[in-house]
Amino acid sequence: MNTVLREMEVQRTVYLSLEQSAIRLSSHDLLKIAEVASQSRGEVRIRPGSWQVLVGAPEAHYRRLGNELSAIGYRNGNCIGKINERSTFLVGGVMNEAPL
């Protein structure tokens, strides 16, 4: 297997926390955010309860993702290195599941 591909598989996901909660975003907003995330091979997750929107991308792409989100009007706060993915809802992004 190519070394570059192997490194990309091992890269950890970094999550950006948006300042707006999911309650204040429309479905159109979430679709725009998911589209930007998918261009960076990322994903959008929402934490129930706090409705915090987390936009994740591979470590090599998260800075570009943050800049692109800011450019379309969605400011992000802090970076989160690791989350419990089972405690969030997946809204959109790259799926790592194999088709049936």
pLDDT digits (tens, 9 = 90+) for 38-65: 888 889 999 998 999 999 989 888 889 9
Residue 67 lies in a domain: yes
Residue 29 lies in a domain: yes
Domain span including residue 48: 19-86
Residue 79 lies in a domain: yes
Rounded to the nearest angstrom, the gap between the alpha carbon of residue 27 and the centroid of all alpha carbons in its chain is 16
Q: Examine the pLDDT at 94 and tell me if it is beyond 70.
A: no
Rounded-to-integer distance, Cα 76 and Cα 71, Å:
11
pTM, whole model, 2 decimals?
A: 0.77
Rounded to the nearest angstrom, the gap between the alpha carbon of residue 45 and the centroid of all alpha carbons in its chain is 6
Averaged over 8-36, what is the pLDDT?
86
Residue 77 lies in a domain: yes
Number of neighbouring beta carbons within 10 Å of residue 67: 10
Residue 23 lies in a domain: yes
Residue 8 lies in a domain: no
Per the structure, how many domains does the chain have? Answer: 1
